[in-house]
Structure 1
Amino acid sequence: MAVSIRANILLSTTISGLLFPYVTMAATSDAENAALRREIAAMHQEMIREIHRLQTRVDKYEHVANLHNRKIEHTSRTLTAAGPDDAQPRFREDPAPVERGPRSPGDSRIALPGGPAQSWSSFKAASAKDESVDIGGIKIGFPKGRPTIASDDKAYAFSIGLLAQEDFGGFMGVGQRGKESAGNFNKFTENARRMRIYMSWRYKDWVVNVTPDFGSNNSDGTVGLFEANLNYTGLHNTTLTIGYFQPRIEEENAERSGAFEFLERPTIVDLVRNIAGGVARFSIGGEHYEKRWLVSGYFTGQKFGDRTSDKTITDSQTGAVFRAAGRPYVSKNIDVHIGIGATVAFKVNQSGNGRTTAFKDNVEVSLGETQLLTSAALTNISQMWAAGPQFGFRYKKFLLKGEYYHIGVQHDNLAASINPPSIGFDGWYVAANYTLFGHGRGYNEKIAAFTAPGVEYDFDPAKGHWGALEISGRWSVTDLRTSGTTKMAGTVINTNGETGNQQTVWHGGLNWYPNQHIKVMLDYTHFSVSRYNGAKSTDANFSGRSGNAVVGRVQAAF
């Protein structure tokens, strides 16, 4: 094609050179000659401009052809002062290829900004695959849609990511019984569930993460901190962390909130993770993974903001979390996951009310509704702990998984007349998932958890491409009825099951992924919460409640 264009240009130039003198000689007057000369000069200038445009196109096509036929060495380019007729500025001519499919299962996963920190070598390898612009030794690119600025050797880098989730929906059939209060169960409302701006600074294997969250609660208007930590990634497949962080011990929590099958985690997972972990928990520790296993452990302290929300705290919490997970069997169509997670609070925050806490949660829907599940107040706490197994099984596009946890609470023996029990609570969930179209959920060994489906082709109805769609179901039970007996001076105060209540939730949901950055969710929830013996007759859960909810979510992640 380049030869054909050059031949046409040459032929046009030759003909014009031969033709124009004869035209000039045919003129019959000086005025006509002058007009003809001006016309010829204008045509000549236009031809020069056309030749310049054609030459630019030839160079561009040759460059693109070279990219496909041979490996090109990329050299650093420096931005120099441009001339008055040059583009301002001009960095490269070749158009970047746009990846729309078909994508392999590994390359098709949705963008998850909350993943583990990459090592320097992994960062260089990953960013080398992405289109970037070089400006005076600085590379600007968009790996996985995340704006990233890096030095030419990738030693210095800064990136910004996003996770934005907007929930909308309401409750049905949550009627009050007797004189109990109606509670807060809106028929239709909205909530900015997560609005996180992920900011990351890198110097080689040292990475600093700071992530504010403008949707850090069950109702709009709460601004908080998701994380602020320093990480070292220079050891093989290992990340060491110090700062405000979310150490993860459950498979469900390890998936990251952008990849959940449902809007929220099962209640038992939420309760366990917040004993000594949870969002913005001060942590010192690390995790290491291999192809078939992962182990992690952290010493933890208080949460960010604890002493602001309760200014009477005089002795902060300390604790620890631990997780070990493995894949005993792996094949193309089958993945088997087993693991164990454990957490302990050596001591909880000492406040003006002593060392107290209470387990409570919503009905696994975050629209600002009244919390019905509660353990009642737990006072004089010596320590708390939880532990349990994890299991997951994938066959092609079908995934089945579940977890069970037991929570133990030990009271202080403050007086010889008190016989403090070790109170126990239990909870579990079972979830099933099937990907209708797109790549099915896969296993990520870096987090030892299953992650979201893959989008083989971006949504394009004209070409019969619809993204990815999955359907899920879940059953979860959390039992906070106390087990154990408290005695004072020989008198029984509380017996088994006398305080606290139990919650059962059934979920069904559809998740659609039009591309790797957008997710649309629709969940149906049916819940049943037993009565709470310690409640007043006017409380929302005095007689127990059941009801339904339909909630949607739109999510963007970069």
Structure 2
Amino acid sequence: MTLSSRFLLLSLTALSGASALSVSSAHAATSDSAEVAALRREMAEMRQEMLSMRSELRHRNTFPTNHDGRPASDRGEAHSWKNARAAAAHTPNDYNGAPEAGIGFNQQARINYHASGDGRPASDRGITSSWEDFKRASAGTEVVQIGGMKIGFPNGRPTIQSEDGKYAFSVGLAFHEDFGGFMGVTPRRGEATGKFNSFTSNARRLRIPFTFRYKDWVANVTPDFGAGNNDGTVGLYEANLNYAGLRNTILTVGYFQPRVTEEDAESSNDFEMMERPGITDIVRNISASDARFVVGGLHYEKRWWLAAYFTGQQFGGRNGNGYYGGDGAISDSQTGGMLRAAGRPIATKNWDLHLGISAMSAFKPNNGAHGRSFTFSQRPEVNLGEDSLLGTGAITNVAQVWAAGPEVGLRWKSFLIKSEYYHIGVNRSRDASGQSLSNLNFSGWYVAANYTLFGTPRAYNYKEGAFAAPGVKENQEFNPATGHWGALEVTGRYSETNLNSQPNSATGVRGGNQIVWSGGLNWYPNRHFRVMLDYNHFIDQRTNHDGLVNIAGRNGNSVAARVQAAF
């Protein structure tokens, strides 16, 4: 009730009291005087309250106040107060609290602008983070608020969330379109020509990550409309449930790509070259490839990173027409695991030193059409539909497969060099005649160097235990009119993969040896787009397990480009 209303009510009450008092006075001569005295006291109290309220009303009309009770500082605020008081007279009181914000049409959307960070590409997978990290990322991006919903781009990804951030849904994109061809891959006498197109194209990745969040619980589902080496089929990259409520820890169950090796821990949107080095691609596929069933987790700090997962079959592994090439005859699926630990002993503005170790194992391989068998194969570090020149064929009677090796990386300002080495062991059981088979050993390594010519250089991402791509801040984005060109980096790499083990033995394997010299340029006009150009020169020794394509050794060259979009 307003002060003026209370004043009017008390005035009427006082007048009524006065009338009643007059009647009572006439009757007092013949009635109990105690009743008259009580009535007089009540009237005096009411009159005193009325005078007090009149004094307060005069003071407020003379000295208006703000909504927080402080005196208005100028005539504008006094005028606003009077308008607000007039409006309040027509607004019914709501004793249930403030009404819930709704979506109003034809209303002005509220936009909050924030800094865009260092401008590095978004991840190629569903982004899993704690609720607190998600709210911090949302606070650091541009937001449009409509009613009780917020629309923004935390981590560079379109996201719709409730006002308190408890519920959120985001959609991303990792689009990699490759095109190019091969030169000089001439077959030697007796060899088949093979598939080495002079020009072709391939949708290497076309992932659309869908991420659903409720507080610290996150579900990721990422279909992939690209297809590795030959596009035209649709598959699944990941489908997993995550809990991120523990400090700097993410627990995961479902189809997932466990982070193993430094190169594989990087998002494909951050790769220095279009493809991983051959050896890291081989070892990750032992038990930690894309869409692998996992149960496990990771923990990170600014100076160290640790992950461990139990792994099972790959998505579609028991389907003969599976996206990743399955076997419909599997009667007992693979089980395995992986462990990766990384440290960052030096971390300054100009220096970063990365040291790590990765280990993975298939405790028991799939039991399929060839019994418990395992196959290693690798293309010449480009995926344009070509044949493999390196391969072991199906190794049978396999009891266990494992691999392990060190990681090292060093950044100095805009220069980065890194290297990894891995040893692969294949433990075999007895053959059909009961004879024990010797174990097999393979190996490989690479060294890569990278320099950022302009733009924000590569930096260490301690949440992944790996290096991230260059960044393009908003004021550095490509715009010739202002003299801004984004970011440009040059990279080079040498890699060697040896799949020969006891090649002259009847029970050995001649899978070949492959050396690849690579060089490339990567241009980032902004954080969401990239153009890559790679040149590879490959030298392959002969193998006995790839038909007639490489029975005498084969060399060649490839030139390929990629256009990339990442949200």
TM-score by length of 2: 0.79
Deviation at 1:109, TM superposition (A): 1.7
Say which is worse superposed, 443-452 or 123-132, in terms of deviation: 123-132
**Residue 482 of structure 1 aligns with which residue?**
501
Question: What is the alpha-carbon distance in structure 2 between the residues aligned to residue 468 and residue 146 of structure 1?
Answer: 20
- What code does the residue aligned with 1:494 have? T
**Residue 469 of structure 1 aligns with which residue?**
488
Deviations 1:11-37 (A, max 9, x none): xxxxxxxxxxxxxxxxxxxxxxxxxxx
Question: What is the alpha-carbon distance in structure 2 between the residues aligned to residue 451 and residue 76 of structure 1?
Answer: 45
Call closer, same or farther: CA 1:322–1:508 in 2, change over 3 Å.
Answer: same
**Residue 294 of structure 2 aligns with which residue?**
283
1:328-407 alignment to 2 at 5 Å? 328-407=345-424
**Residue 141 of structure 1 aligns with which residue?**
152
Question: What is the alpha-carbon distance in structure 2 between the residues aligned to residue 480 and residue 469 of structure 1?
Answer: 35
Question: What is the alpha-carbon distance in structure 2 between the residues aligned to residue 479 and residue 289 of structure 1?
Answer: 33
Secondary structure of 2:396 counterpart: coil
1:248-259 alignment to 2 at 5 Å? 248-259=259-270
Call closer, same or farther: CA 1:139–1:181 in 2, change over 3 Å.
Answer: same
Secondary structure of 1:513 counterpart: strand
Deviation at 1:97, TM superposition (A): 4.6
**Residue 198 of structure 2 aligns with which residue?**
187
Deviation at 1:93, TM superposition (A): 6.0
Question: What is the alpha-carbon distance in structure 2 between the residues aligned to residue 347 and residue 232 of structure 1?
Answer: 29
Structure 1 or 2, whichever has the larger Rg, is: 2
Deviations 1:449-495 (A, max 9, x none): 0110111310011111000000000000000001488xxxxxx6235
**Residue 12 of structure 1 aligns with which residue?**
none
Deviation at 1:500, TM superposition (A): 1.5
| 1:77–1:135 CA contact under 8 A, matched in 2 | no
1:438-517 alignment to 2 at 5 Å? 438-456=455-473, 457-483=476-502, 493-494=506-507, 499-517=510-528
Deviations 1:356-384 (A, max 9, x none): 12100110000000111012320011010
Question: What is the alpha-carbon distance in structure 1 between the residues aligned to residue 197 and residue 546 of structure 2?
Answer: 22
| 2:114–2:139 CA contact under 8 A, matched in 1 | no
- What code does the residue aligned with 2:337 have? A
Call closer, same or farther: CA 1:76–1:476 in 2, change over 3 Å.
Answer: farther
Secondary structure of 2:450 counterpart: strand
Call closer, same or farther: CA 1:524–1:535 in 2, change over 3 Å.
Answer: closer
**Residue 205 of structure 1 aligns with which residue?**
216
Q: 1:555 aligns with which of 549, 558, 564?
A: 564
Question: What is the alpha-carbon distance in structure 1 between the residues aligned to residue 209 and residue 110 of structure 2?
Answer: 32
Question: What is the alpha-carbon distance in structure 1 between the residues aligned to residue 100 and residue 460 of structure 2?
Answer: 40
Say which is worse superposed, 515-524 or 309-318, in terms of deviation: 309-318
Question: What is the alpha-carbon distance in structure 2 between the residues aligned to residue 451 and residue 307 of structure 1?
Answer: 35
Q: 1:272 aligns with which of 283, 295, 302?
A: 283
1:59-208 alignment to 2 at 5 Å? 78-79=101-102, 88-92=105-109, 97=113, 107-114=118-125, 116-208=127-219
Deviation at 1:142, TM superposition (A): 2.6
Deviations 1:394-442 (A, max 9, x none): 0100000000000000111246751211100000000000000011110
Question: What is the alpha-carbon distance in structure 1 between the residues aligned to residue 103 and residue 396 of structure 2?
Answer: 70
Secondary structure of 1:375 counterpart: strand
Deviation at 1:134, TM superposition (A): 2.9
Say which is worse superposed, 131-140 or 423-432, in terms of deviation: 131-140
- What code does the residue aligned with 2:364 have? K
**Residue 304 of structure 1 aligns with which residue?**
315
Secondary structure of 2:496 counterpart: strand
| 2:126–2:209 CA contact under 8 A, matched in 1 | no
| 2:444–2:496 CA contact under 8 A, matched in 1 | yes
| 1:91–1:133 CA contact under 8 A, matched in 2 | no
Secondary structure of 2:511 counterpart: coil
Secondary structure of 1:542 counterpart: coil
Question: What is the alpha-carbon distance in structure 2 between the residues aligned to residue 533 and residue 137 of structure 1?
Answer: 65
Call closer, same or farther: CA 1:125–1:211 in 2, change over 3 Å.
Answer: same
Deviations 1:125-148 (A, max 9, x none): 111222323333222223344221
- What code does the residue aligned with 2:477 have? D
Aligned length: 463
- What code does the residue aligned with 1:202 have? R
Question: What is the alpha-carbon distance in structure 2 between the residues aligned to residue 458 and residue 423 of structure 1?
Answer: 51
| 2:122–2:528 CA contact under 8 A, matched in 1 | yes
Question: What is the alpha-carbon distance in structure 2 between the residues aligned to residue 366 and residue 333 of structure 1?
Answer: 35
**Residue 54 of structure 2 aligns with which residue?**
none
Question: What is the alpha-carbon distance in structure 2 between the residues aligned to residue 384 and residue 173 of structure 1?
Answer: 36
Deviation at 1:331, TM superposition (A): 1.4
Secondary structure of 1:359 counterpart: strand
- What code does the residue aligned with 1:214 have? F
Call closer, same or farther: CA 1:450–1:80 in 2, change over 3 Å.
Answer: closer
Q: 1:518 aligns with which of 516, 519, 529?
A: 529
| 2:109–2:146 CA contact under 8 A, matched in 1 | no
Question: What is the alpha-carbon distance in structure 2 between the residues aligned to residue 98 and residue 204 of structure 1?
Answer: 23
Question: What is the alpha-carbon distance in structure 2 between the residues aligned to residue 152 and residue 370 of structure 1?
Answer: 52
Question: What is the alpha-carbon distance in structure 1 between the residues aligned to residue 353 and residue 502 of structure 2?
Answer: 34
Alignment of 1:433 onto 2:450: yes
Question: What is the alpha-carbon distance in structure 1 between the residues aligned to residue 229 and residue 304 of structure 2?
Answer: 34
Call closer, same or farther: CA 1:207–1:534 in 2, change over 3 Å.
Answer: closer
Say which is worse superposed, 510-519 or 141-150, in terms of deviation: 141-150
Call closer, same or farther: CA 1:134–1:243 in 2, change over 3 Å.
Answer: same
TM-score by length of 1: 0.80
| 1:255–1:451 CA contact under 8 A, matched in 2 | yes
Question: What is the alpha-carbon distance in structure 1 between the residues aligned to residue 252 and residue 231 of structure 2?
Answer: 31
Question: What is the alpha-carbon distance in structure 2 between the residues aligned to residue 124 and residue 79 of structure 1?
Answer: 22
Deviation at 1:340, TM superposition (A): 0.2
Deviation at 1:219, TM superposition (A): 1.2
Question: What is the alpha-carbon distance in structure 2 between the residues aligned to residue 324 and residue 145 of structure 1?
Answer: 28
Secondary structure of 2:136 counterpart: helix
| 1:77–1:134 CA contact under 8 A, matched in 2 | no
Deviations 1:86-122 (A, max 9, x none): xx4213366x5586xxx7xx62322224365110011
Question: What is the alpha-carbon distance in structure 1 between the residues aligned to residue 284 and residue 161 of structure 2?
Answer: 35
Identity of aligned residues (%): 56
Question: What is the alpha-carbon distance in structure 1 between the residues aligned to residue 266 and residue 164 of structure 2?
Answer: 32
| 1:239–1:287 CA contact under 8 A, matched in 2 | yes
- What code does the residue aligned with 1:374 have? G
Question: What is the alpha-carbon distance in structure 2 between the residues aligned to residue 480 and residue 430 of structure 1?
Answer: 19
- What code does the residue aligned with 1:408 have? G
Q: 1:240 aligns with which of 241, 251, 271?
A: 251
Alignment of 1:421 onto 2:438: yes
- What code does the residue aligned with 2:506 have? I
- What code does the residue aligned with 1:556 have? A
**Residue 54 of structure 1 aligns with which residue?**
none
Alignment of 1:409 onto 2:432: no
